[in-house]
């Protein structure tokens, strides 16, 4: 057990007991080896673990009394049925993606990258700026790019 995993335990009556996950920070969980994921994915992975990694056995699972059984395929069967209009909208979006349609909203912010013109050196070596002056120009260009961010 790693020190990060041990940090998720506490002593109660002389026994190691897992801390309340609601009181554990995200960073502590990640350090201990846990990855952020949805509850459905966690249930699906638990079912795969229960079936020794055999995906076909997850599908064939006959443990009907297990609370995870309805979720074993990674879908919430208790969610409401989608209307025909919602299904049609999803099909239309998928078709646009397959067709390679541009300008679809991605939900991510676009970051404009400033265009920094390249410096051109004079043809004659004697007319070139000194190495110190050249470094100063590069530093100034770098700072202006960082300021734009």
Domain residues of the chain, as ranges? 1-36, 39-99
Nearest Cα residue to 6 out of 30, 26, 32, 27? 32
Mean pLDDT of the chain: 82
| Count of C-beta atoms within a 10 Å radius of residue 46 | 14
Q: Is residue 106 pLDDT above 70, yes or no? A: no
Give me the mean pLDDT over the 92-108 stretch.
Answer: 74
Predicted TM-score (pTM) of the model is: 0.48
Which pLDDT belongs to residue 138? 74
Higher-confidence residue of 123 and 74: namely 74
Give me the mean pLDDT over the 102-120 stretch.
Answer: 63
Residue 16 banded pLDDT, cuts 50, 70, 90: very high
């Amino acid at each position: 057990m790693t020190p990060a995993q041990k940090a998720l335990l506490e002593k109660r009556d002389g026994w190691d007991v897992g801390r309340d996950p609601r009181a554990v920070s995200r960073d502590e969980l990640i350090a201990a080896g846990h990855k952020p994921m949805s509850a459905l994915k966690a249930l699906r992975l638990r079912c795969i673990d229960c079936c020794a990694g055999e995906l076909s056995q997850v599908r064939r699972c006959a443990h009907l009394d297990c609370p995870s059984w309805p979720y074993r395929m990674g879908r919430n069967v208790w969610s409401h049925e989608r209307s025909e209009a919602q299904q049609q909208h999803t099909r239309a979006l998928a078709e646009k993606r397959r067709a390679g349609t541009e300008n679809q909203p991605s939900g991510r912010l676009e970051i404009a990258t400033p265009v920094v013109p390249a410096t051109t050196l004079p043809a004659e070596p004697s007319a070139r700026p000194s190495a110190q002056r050249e470094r100063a120009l590069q530093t100034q260009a770098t700072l202006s790019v960082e300021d734009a961010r």
